[in-house]
C-alpha cells in the first residue's frame, strides 16, 4: 500500500505510479497494490510504503 498524506503527494503519485484501487483517507489517499514490497517511510514528503505486515487493516 502506498500511503499518500496530502494533495501534493497524491498529485506526484499520479505521474509515476500505475493506476490501482484507491481509498480516501482523512489526510489523502491509500493506493493498494498486490505483491511483496518492503515498508519504507518518507519515500518523499507525504509518501510512505506500507507492507502487508506493517498495515494489517488491508490484509
Rounded to an integer, the average pLDDT of 2-18 is 96
pTM for this prediction: 0.77
The C-alpha cell that represents 35 in the structure block: 505483491
Structural domain boundaries enclosing 53: 2-58
Contact 31, 22 (CB under 8 A): yes
Domain count, the chain: 1
The C-alpha cell that represents 34 in the structure block: 498486490
pLDDT digits (tens, 9 = 90+) for 44-56: 999 998 886 555 5
pLDDT digits (tens, 9 = 90+) for 15-55: 999 999 999 999 999 999 988 778 888 899 999 988 865 55
> If pLDDT is split at 50, 70 and 90, which confidence band does 59 have?
very low
* CA–CA gap between residue 38 and residue 19 (Å, rounded): 20
- The yes-or-no verdict on residue 5 having pLDDT over 80 is yes
Amino acid at each position: 500500500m502506498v500511503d499518500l498524506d496530502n494533495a501534493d503527494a497524491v498529485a506526484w503519485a499520479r505521474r509515476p505510479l500505475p493506476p490501482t484501487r484507491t481509498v480516501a483517507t482523512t489526510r489523502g489517499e491509500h493506493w493498494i497494490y498486490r505483491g511483496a514490497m518492503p515498508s519504507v517511510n518518507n519515500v518523499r514528503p507525504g509518501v510512505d510504503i506500507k507492507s502487508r505486515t506493517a498495515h494489517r487493516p488491508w490484509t
